[in-house]
Amino acid sequence: MTAIKHAFVTGAAGFVGSNLVDRLLADGVTVTGWDNFSTGQDRFLDGARANPRFRLLRGDTLDLPALAAAMRGADFVFHLAANADIKDGWSHPRRDLEQNTIATSNVLEAMRTAGVGRIAFSSTGSVYGEALVTPDAPTPEDAAFPVQTSLYGASKAAGEGLIAAYAEGAQLTEAYIFRFVSILGERYTHGHVFDFYRQLLEHPDRLAVLGDGTQRKSYLYVQDCIDAMLHVARRGTARDARHRTQVYNLGTPEYVEVNQSIGFICAALGLSPRLEYSGGNRGWVGDNPFIFLDTRKIRATGWQPRLTIEQGIIRTLRWLEANRWVYTARREAR
């Protein structure tokens, strides 16, 4: 097992980042959190602030000198900060380049300056585009990359390439690239459950659905996601890899149709809204109608997800019900 003593977390006030910070602190790790609060929520770190092993720094990943200075003393970087707005990527195309690709380059240069050799990177299943595999089959890590279908996926694929190059160039000792499906759970502030619940609060009798509802997607509960990242990072699986880089798909061994997800949400709320579809088999330009990742590689290490997709959706919904303030917070951040 490889110990993590001092972790540096970018995007520490975000959905996944803040949950990771709490887990690391509970495990006795010293944590430096880094966030520019463009989408992160200060309240997500209330518990962490009470821990003397936690330090929060407000900073931007585009500020390389400040990033490198803040990173000194860390022995592991979890790079989670990113622009995750896939749907509206063409409304602000430079944002993916800056916040995902250039930011990742800055993180790597800051690590080199600060002498930090280990990194875990939150990538995405979107890098596969509309994967060139057998129809209805899960996409493995070694699938050929097709033409990219979103700026978000392209920017994350570029980040993966930079990390692999730094590892191959002996600038990193261990690199872990995690290709997530969509993540669900507590502190969730972006995605279909968030959008559907907001609509149903405003008008419980009707629900607008992008596409035709037949899109099939896989999802993963946030604590299962964190379990997976920490599990392989502590095992040090990249240490003896040929190129010191390991890529893992993270997801559940199942998927659901959007219509099924709507059914879970409406049943939990006791509602029967009229569904108003925008039409077509995808919700927006760049939306992939089928996202299902092959997770045999990560499961072979001994990790298994604990929650089903339905359980993850319901936990997310219950958290949103108890924390409606996030809707106001998201509007204020725009």
pLDDT the model gives residue 288: 85
Residues 119 and 149 occupy one common structural domain: yes
Q: What region does 100 belong to: left with phi over 0, alpha with psi -120 to 50, or beta? A: alpha
In the three-class reduction of DSSP (H, G, I as helix; E, B as strand; rest coil), residue 77 is classed as: strand
Residues 107 and 197 occupy one common structural domain: no
Helix intervals (H) in 172-308: 192-202, 222-235, 258-269, 296-299
Helix (H) or strand (E) run with residue 21 in it: helix 15-26
pLDDT the model gives residue 1: 66
**Any domain includes 291:** no
Distance CA 79, CA 187 (A): 18
Structural domain ending residue among the three candidates 228, 250, 272: 250
Residues 77 and 168 occupy one common structural domain: yes
Task: Give every residue of the chain whose pLDDT is below 50, as ranges.
Answer: none
pLDDT the model gives residue 332: 56
pLDDT the model gives residue 284: 77
pLDDT the model gives residue 105: 98
> How many distinct structural domains can be found in the chain?
2
**Any domain includes 41:** yes
Residues 114 and 100 occupy one common structural domain: yes
pLDDT the model gives residue 210: 94
Q: Supply 293's token pair.
A: 């990742």
Q: What is the CATH number of the domain that holds 28?
A: 3.40.50.720
- Cβ atoms of residues 184 and 305 within 8 Å: no
pLDDT the model gives residue 86: 73
Q: What is the pTM of this model?
A: 0.95
- pLDDT per position as a tens digit, 262-277: 999 999 999 999 999 9
pLDDT the model gives residue 209: 97
Cβ atoms < 10 Å from Cβ of 113? 15
Residues 103 and 235 occupy one common structural domain: yes
Residues 325 and 197 occupy one common structural domain: yes
- pLDDT per position as a tens digit, 317-333: 999 999 999 998 866 55
pLDDT the model gives residue 201: 97
Residues 156 and 213 occupy one common structural domain: no
* Strands of 30-35's sheet in order across: 54-58, 30-35, 6-10, 76-79, 118-124, 174-180, 245-250
pLDDT the model gives residue 132: 66
pLDDT the model gives residue 194: 97
Residue 169: domain span:
6-184+219-250
